[in-house]
Structures are given as C-alpha cells and as structure tokens.
Amino acid sequence: MKPGDEWKQVKEEGAKLLFPDKGGSYDLLERRPLDQRVIAYASQDVSLLFRLERVLEHGIGGSGLGGWKKRVMKASLKRVGEAKSVEYNNDPKKRVLAPKM
C-alpha cells in the first residue's frame, strides 16, 4: 500500500456512507452510536484543522478579512445554540455547508 492510500480509502468509504450522490445518507450522522467509519472519516478532517489555522494565520493574519476568527467563532456559537434549542430541526442539506457570514 502506498503512502496516502489508507487516508484515501477512509475518505472514499466515508463519502459513500454519508453523501446521497454517492449512495449514502446524512441521516447516518443522527444515529448513535456513530458508525466507526464515520468517526474515522470525520477525524481525518479534524486532524487538518490545526494546520489550516496556521496557514490562515500566516496568510491573512488574525484580524485580516474583517477579523475572520471572530466571524467564525460567532457563526459557530450560533450553530451550537441552534442545535441545542428545543425547536431544532435538523435539515442536513442546510448543515453541510458553512453559513454565509
């Protein structure tokens, strides 16, 4: 197996489970316990977040583009609040993409 093959395989399997255009369903994210393949798929994305933060910090700075960190934090807190509300209605099609800020 070549370097990166395992990473690619996890991504492909996760996409087949989650994305409707690949035969999957977003509803899988609502089931508990989470499928281990979904956890592996998501953990690979999360493992890149710290590197992405460093790239963004270096490229645009902490206050560039209108304070991107503050905008991201504000949007994140709003989404967490929505998810915790009694009226929360999960529509996976709306949750797949980041909110417009």
Q: What is the pLDDT of residues 38-62, one digit of tens each?
A: 999 999 989 988 888 788 777 665 5
Spatial distance between the Cα atoms of 22 and 26, rounded to a whole number of angstroms: 11
Spatial distance between the Cα atoms of 64 and 56, rounded to a whole number of angstroms: 9
The answer to which of 29-33, 54-58, 85-89, 96-100 has the lowest mean pLDDT is 96-100
Higher-confidence residue of 10 and 70: namely 10
Spatial distance between the Cα atoms of 22 and 16, rounded to a whole number of angstroms: 5
**Average per-residue pLDDT in the chain?**
82
